[in-house]
Structure formats: structure tokens, C-alpha cells
Structure 1
Amino acid sequence: MKRSLLLVEDDLLMREFITDYFKKEQWEVHEAENGRIALEIFEQTSIDLMVLDIMMPEMDGWSVCRRIREKSDVPIIMITARAEDDDHIMGFELGADEYVTKPLSPRVLVARAAALIKRKEGTVGREGDRLVYGDLYVNRTAHTVSVAGNKVNLSPKEYDLLLFLIKHYGKVLSRDYILDAVWGYDYLGDLRTVDTHIKKLRAKLGDEGRYIGTVIRSGYKFEMES
């Protein structure tokens, strides 16, 4: 089954370059040259993943990401010509899942997109069916999380982070270790990425976010209160 990609990039040559690589991997590609058109396509089309440039006319990538996250947890990879950490932190706070810095490798971009889709569908790292901690319920097969019976919409990276913390139940995990394990050794962001995602994850889990504890000067651990 073909996956559906929404590519949002104002540079025509770059857009064609990226599109060719995705089509070779059997993706269906929808193109938008600015944020306004991207939102129109998103409303009318079933999209599995979005590749979103930051600097665009009419509506920038930040604004598009914010609007998308108001209604959907579709995986989002953001493209930026700047490597500043603040840009990455801003994107993650808005709900982006991955970052790629220009000049980019289309092959790497396609590989990251495929990995995000697999994690979204729960086909990577599946080790069982159900995990229950108090009112927190994780179904690995269905790739769903709920609290007190209410579904919690997590981004792929937030879901990966939660499972990683649960997998190491009761163990103190440093920010460096979490960053390398969940984002990968080649990730260029800093430790604030971990803090930002932990904060968002706790907020989404509500009362059950208390299981994610902060260990001062050490990191984080997942553990039920005794």
C-alpha cells in the first residue's frame, strides 16, 4: 500500500528533487509551495506524513505545524536551512517529530520518513500487547495510549519516549542516554529536546504523568509511586 506524503517547500527545484526520491520508494506525493496551500491539501486528503519547510511565503512552517497539531498527530519532519538549537526546540515544542537541516540528503529523508511511519504503526520495537500502570494503558499492538479510558494523542516521538521510559522501569536514565536511544546518535540537537518532550508527555498524560520522575542532576525515571 502506498504511503501518502505532503511535501511543503517553496523552492520548486528542491521540491522536485525530493519528490523524485519518494516516488521511487512508492510514496504518493502531494506538493504545496506555501503553508496556506498545504493546509488546504491536508483538509481534503488523507496524509500519512508531512515534510515541512520552515521559511515559506504566506505562512511559515511554524504556523503550519501549530495548525496541524491542533487536530492531528500525523508525523511531521521539518526542514530548515539553519542549524540553531533554538529552531529545533521551537519545532519540537510545536509538535514536530524530526528535523533535517539543509543541504539535505533525500535518501536520508526518505529513510527517516519510513522509520517514523513504522513507529507510528507500532511495527518497530513491539514486545507485547498491553502495559497497565494505574489508569495509564498502553496497547503496543494497536499503538494506542489512554488514561482512565480516554485516548491520548501522542506524536511518534512522544510515544517512543514513553515506551523507552517504561522499558527501563525504575531505572534512572540520563538525558544523554535518552537522547541517543530515542533520537539516534546522529541527532544534532541538545539535551533540551529531552526536557521539552518530557514536559509535553507529562502534560498529555495528566495525573498519570506523575510516573515520570525527575532525578535532580541525573535525569528521569518511570516508576509508580509506592
Structure 2
Amino acid sequence: MNPADVPSESKPTLLIVDDDHELCAMLAEYLAPEGFLTLTAGTGPAGLEQLGRAAVDLVVLDVMLPELSGFEVLRRIRAVSRVPVIMLTARGEEVDRVVGLEMGADDYLAKPFSPRELVARIRAVLRRMPGEGQSASGLILWGPLRLDLRARRADIADRDLELTSAELRILELLVRADTRTVTRDELMTQALGRRLLPTDRSLDTHVSNLRRKLMKHTDRLALLSVRGSGYALTLAPARAPASQG
């Protein structure tokens, strides 16, 4: 079926927040036949207002915005929602990409970019989101960790780790590997949906954020870097209760 022929109620809704009105119009025109409904906003406050009143499946958010920066908009989004966010950054501004990922963005794309690349990134992020038809296998227990893939949640002792979709997918792959090493290539293609390139440090940033969140909640799990290969989880045995007297 042609994506444009999908009923409107089945199409993902995207919110593009960018003050370049020509870019927004061009992207909306390009995304329609790809099977997406598109909302646009030219400022941070307008984007937050749209997000508050519409059911949005993914936000495309420019870093450089009038009134509120893209980072501040992202911070406010993450305070209330886990909707996936792709940040648009200036080419070469690696610090913007790192900060965006650390603040909870799911991916980034440097300007100028091709609409085809944006569509690929959008689809890769949306594929990480669980669908309605997901079975009971959406619940994974591993040591003190509980992954509920349908609810897009990971918790330890009922404390939500507040993972992004990328972090949750990376953690799922590592847990399913059960202490075996998962290569960087595997994590890149299966979690982020693209090939590993020497200049792309997004995987390292996602793993670093995930490691920090795990360490904050437990000392039984360790996310290890395996030199020259990839990453692996280790699980320490539960401590025996201290004896009385």
C-alpha cells in the first residue's frame, strides 16, 4: 500500500518546530506522501502549545529558536512527556548534539539535511516505539531490572529510570544478550537504525547516559565497555541480608 493511501487516523502525527517557515512548508509537503500528518510551529512556546493540545507521535525540534531555545523546549517536554524528539542542529556543532542527547533527545540531524534522511530517522525512531499488537513478551525481568516495552518504561525497585526510546532499546538489546557482548555495529543498526560511522558519537552518548541512570538506582548492574568490540551488562548477586546479633 502506498503510504499516502493509509487512513488519516492511522498515520503518525509529527510536530515540526522551526522558525524557517519555508523549510516547514517543504517538509510538510514531502512528508505527506510518505504517510505522515504534519503540524508546524515557528517558536518554542507555539510548539509547546501544539504539543499540549494535539496527539503527537514525534517532534522534530530545531536547536536555534526565537523566544525559547530548542534545549529549553526539550527540557519542558521531558518534564511532562516521553514523546520522541529529533533535534535539528547546525552542522559541525557537536556540543549541541551531545547536549541534546544528554537532555533526552532520541536522535539528531545536522542541517542542511535531505528530506529522505529525515524520513529515515523518523521511521527508525518510531520503530523503537512499541505497537498495539505487542505480546506479553513486552515485559522483561533481569536481576533488579524490569522492562515494560509496551509502556516504554524501565524501572528498578519501582523507580522509573526515565529512559529515552534509544536508551530503552539499547538496554533491551543488552538484557536480551544476557551478559554477552553486543557489538557497536549491532547496537547502532538495531537501536538507532543506521550504520556506524567513525564520526558519529551518538551511540557513545546514549550508552553514557544509560550507564549514569543505571548507576543512580543500583550497584548490581554494570554497563561495561568491551575494548574494540562493544558493550555488555553484568549482574552482581543480590546481597544477603545482614545477620542479626
TM-score by length of 2: 0.78
Say which of 14, 20, 24 aligns to 2:23: 14
Instruction: Tell whether 2:87 aligns with 1:78.
Output: yes
Residue 162 of structure 1 corresponds to: 171
Q: Which runs of 5+ in 1 are unaligned?
A: none
Instruction: Tell whether 2:45 aligns with 1:36.
Output: yes
Q: Which runs of 5+ in 2 are unaligned?
A: 1-9, 238-245
The answer on whether the counterparts of 2:185 and 2:195 sit within 8 Å (CA) in structure 1 is no
Instruction: Tell whether 2:224 aligns with 1:214.
Output: yes
1:8 & 1:214 partners in 2: Cα distance? 37
Amino acid of the residue matched to residue 22 of structure 1? L
Give the C-alpha shift of residue 73 in structure 1.
1.0
Give the C-alpha shift of residue 142 in structure 1.
4.9
Say which of 145, 149, 155 aligns to 1:146: 155
SS at match of 1:55: coil
Residue 59 of structure 1 corresponds to: 68
- Sort the Cα spacing of 1:178 and 1:209 in 2 relative to 1 into closer, same or farther, 3 A: farther
The answer on whether the counterparts of 1:145 and 1:152 sit within 8 Å (CA) in structure 2 is yes
2:189 & 2:199 partners in 1: Cα distance? 10
Amino acid of the residue matched to residue 85 of structure 2? I
Report Cα offsets for 1:158-187 as digits up to 9, x if no partner.
111101211222124565764465333155
Give the C-alpha shift of residue 18 in structure 1.
0.5
The answer on whether the counterparts of 2:16 and 2:24 sit within 8 Å (CA) in structure 1 is yes
**Identity in percent:** 34
Pairing of 1:89-128 with structure 2 (within 5 A): 89-121=98-130, 128=137
Pairs aligned (count): 225
The answer on whether the counterparts of 1:128 and 1:141 sit within 8 Å (CA) in structure 2 is no
The answer on whether the counterparts of 1:211 and 1:223 sit within 8 Å (CA) in structure 2 is yes
1:152 & 1:116 partners in 2: Cα distance? 19
SS at match of 2:51: helix
- Sort the Cα spacing of 1:100 and 1:126 in 2 relative to 1 into closer, same or farther, 3 A: farther
Name the Cα RMSD after superposition: 2.9
The answer on whether the counterparts of 2:226 and 2:232 sit within 8 Å (CA) in structure 1 is no
Give the C-alpha shift of residue 8 in structure 1.
0.6
Rg larger in 1 or in 2? 2
1:154 & 1:217 partners in 2: Cα distance? 25
- Sort the Cα spacing of 1:220 and 1:115 in 2 relative to 1 into closer, same or farther, 3 A: closer
